[in-house]
């Protein structure tokens, strides 16, 4: 598996700890819980990640 680089969380999260973090992979993205960084992560390919981001931006999910 590729090494995950540049973990980051949304600037909207501020100092909150109940967030997700996204890391860059050469083939897509990795996502983990910011409260449990050693608990593992799941991986998506570029097309899956792009579709998810488009759905979020399109308002498909409720807050």
Return the pLDDT at 54.
94
Higher pLDDT, 17 or 39: 39
Element (H, E) at 11: none
| Tokens 């983990």 belong to residue | 32
Strand order in the sheet with 42-45: 5-8, 20-25, 28-33, 42-45
The stretch 29-34 carries a mean pLDDT of 92
Return the pLDDT at 63.
66
The stretch 23-38 carries a mean pLDDT of 91
């Amino acid at each position: 598996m590729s090494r995950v680089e540049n973990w980051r969380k949304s600037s909207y999260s501020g100092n909150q700890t109940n967030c997700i973090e996204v890391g860059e992979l050469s083939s897509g993205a990795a996502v983990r819980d910011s409260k449990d960084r050693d608990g593992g992560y799941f991986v998506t390919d570029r097309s899956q990640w792009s579709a998810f981001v488009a759905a979020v931006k399109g308002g498909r999910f409720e807050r």
